[in-house]
């Protein structure tokens, strides 16, 4: 078994040494990073960019061969001079590009946890209630009751949390030098 690991490692190292150009793809003008930024920006109608001029909000940003093209620019922070922006902006002049994203995922997690906690508390309270002589004293599967209560309340909590979280927006970095 040890011989197979040594052989696999030697073949891997030989393959890496034979073609060192695989890691240079990110250095070219049409790199994988540029393609990733292009795919990120094609879905958004605005972006916030930071560079030597400060921070500016761009409408309809698109990555082209010459750089980042936009329809209009406005200052995002005081002291930003948008007249210094060239259209297109060369990617080498960009420090950071951000797009707005909603917080539905984070809201779903928080809502699911809150719903599960409520369901667990309700199951614990139901376990403490005396149902009276009419129902008798059936044996309870307390663990199953607690799990069922938590699961039944987690689903609507998740849905409500995702709905509320989608109303809150934050800036998400899609490119940073």
Q: What pLDDT score does 50 carry?
A: 83
Instruction: Give the position of tokens 């011989």.
Output: 3
Q: What tens digit of pLDDT does each residue of 107-127 get? A: 999 999 999 999 999 888 877
| Cβ–Cβ under 8 Å, residues 116 and 157 | yes
Bridge partners of residue 67, in order along the sequence: 64
Q: What distance in Å separates the CA atoms of residue 25 and residue 43, rounded to the nearest whole number?
A: 25
- Print burial letters for 61-95: b (CB count within 10 Å at least 16), e (below 16): bebeeebbebeebeebeeebeeeebeebbebeebe
DSSP labels for 81-133?
Answer: -GGG--SSBPGGG-SEEEEEEE-HHHHHHHHHHHHHHHHHHHHHHHHHS---T
% of the chain residues with pLDDT over 90: 16
Global pTM value: 0.53
* Cβ contact 49:94 at 8 Å: yes
Span of 59-68, 87-96, 136-145 with lowest mean pLDDT: 136-145
């Amino acid at each position: 078994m040890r011989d197979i690991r040594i052989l696999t490692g030697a073949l891997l190292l030989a393959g890496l040494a034979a073609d060192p150009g695989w890691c240079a793809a990110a250095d070219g003008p049409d790199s994988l990073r540029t393609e990733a930024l292009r795919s990120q920006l094609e879905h958004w109608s605005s972006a916030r960019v930071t560079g030597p001029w400060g921070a500016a909000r761009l409408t309809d940003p698109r990555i082209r061969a010459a750089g980042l093209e936009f329809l209009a620019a406005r200052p995002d922070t005081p002291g930003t001079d948008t007249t210094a922006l060239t259209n297109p902006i060369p990617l080498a002049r960009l420090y950071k590009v951000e797009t707005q994203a909603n917080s539905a995922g984070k809201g779903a997690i928080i809502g699911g946890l809150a719903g599960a906690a409520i369901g667990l508390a309700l199951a614990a309270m139901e376990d403490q209630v005396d149902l009276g002589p009419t129902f008798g004293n059936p044996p309870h599967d307390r663990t199953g009751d607690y799990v069922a209560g938590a699961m039944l309340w987690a689903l609507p909590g998740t849905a409500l949390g995702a709905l509320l979280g989608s109303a809150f927006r934050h800036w998400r970095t899609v490119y940073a030098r």
